[in-house]
Amino acid sequence: KQEVTQIPAALSVPEGENLVLNCSFTDSAIYNLQWFRQDPGKGLTSLLLIQSSQREQTSGRLNASLDKSSGRSTLYIAASQPGDSATYLCAVMNRDDKIIFGKGTRLHILP
Amino acid sequence: KAGVTQTPRYLIKTRGQQVTLSCSPISGHRSVSWYQQTPGQGLQFLFEYFSETQRNKGNFPGRFSGRQFSNSRSEMNVSTLELGDSALYLCASSLNSGGHIQYFGAGTRLSVL
C-alpha cells in the first residue's frame, strides 16, 4: 500500500533564503508525482508534474526532482518570498491511477 | 477560460441527512475527481469520473456516491451523514484520465452537526 510522507510538517525560514521540501513514497511503481500548494481555506494549485520517466521539472523559482529508486522527491524554492507562504503537498499517482497525497509541509516565510 | 467551479462553498447539515455537491470542470476537460480533506487524514481520493463512467474509486463507504453528466459536470452525494463527514470536499478536473495535470476548485466546506 502506497504511503506518502512529507517532512517536516512545518517550516519557517527568513525571506530570501533557498529551501528544500521533502517527499518520500514507499512504492516506486508510480506513474507520476505532482507538487501542489494550498493557501488557507482554498483549493490546490498545481506547481509541477514529474512523469515517472523524468528526473526533474522547473518552473520559475521552483525545481522539483524525482528519484524513483529511492522513493524520494524534493521541491526546491529559490529566493523565497512572503508570498510563498502556504502548505505544499506532494501527490503520487500509482499505476492503478489512484492518487495518494502526503499531509503537506506548512511553509512560513518570515519578512 | 473559467476554472473549476464548486457549489455551494459552505454547507451545514445535521446527522442523518444527505447532501449533494456540484462540480463544473474546466471547459473541455472530461475527467473529474473528488477528494475529501480533513485535518486528521489529509487529502483522500474519493472517486474519478470520465465520460460519465466511474473510472476509479478510493476506500470510502457506499454512502459516498457520484455521477457525471454528458457535459462533464459532476455531482457527489453523501447519504446518512455522520459527524466524521465534516470536511473540505475538493473537485479536480483534467483533460483526460490517467496522469494529466489536475486543476482544483476552491472546495465545498461541509459541516455536519
> CA–CA distance from B34 to each of A67, A110, B4, B16, B64 (Å)?
28, 34, 12, 22, 10
3-state helix, strand, coil in chain A (%, to 5): 5, 60, 35
Mutate to test the interface with A, among B38, B96, B102, B111 (most CBs of A within 10 A): B102
pLDDT tier for residue A20 given thresholds of 50, 70 and 90: very high
Chain position carrying cell 512529507 = A6
Cα distance between residue A35 and residue A23, in whole Å:
9
In sequence order, which residues have a C-beta less than 8 Å from that of residue A53 and are 6 or more positions away?
A: none
pLDDT per residue as tens digits for the range B43-88: 999 999 999 999 989 999 999 999 999 999 999 999 999 999 999 9
Give the closest of B44, B56, B105 to A43, CB-based: B105
Antiparallel, parallel or unpaired: β B53-57 and B64-68:
unpaired
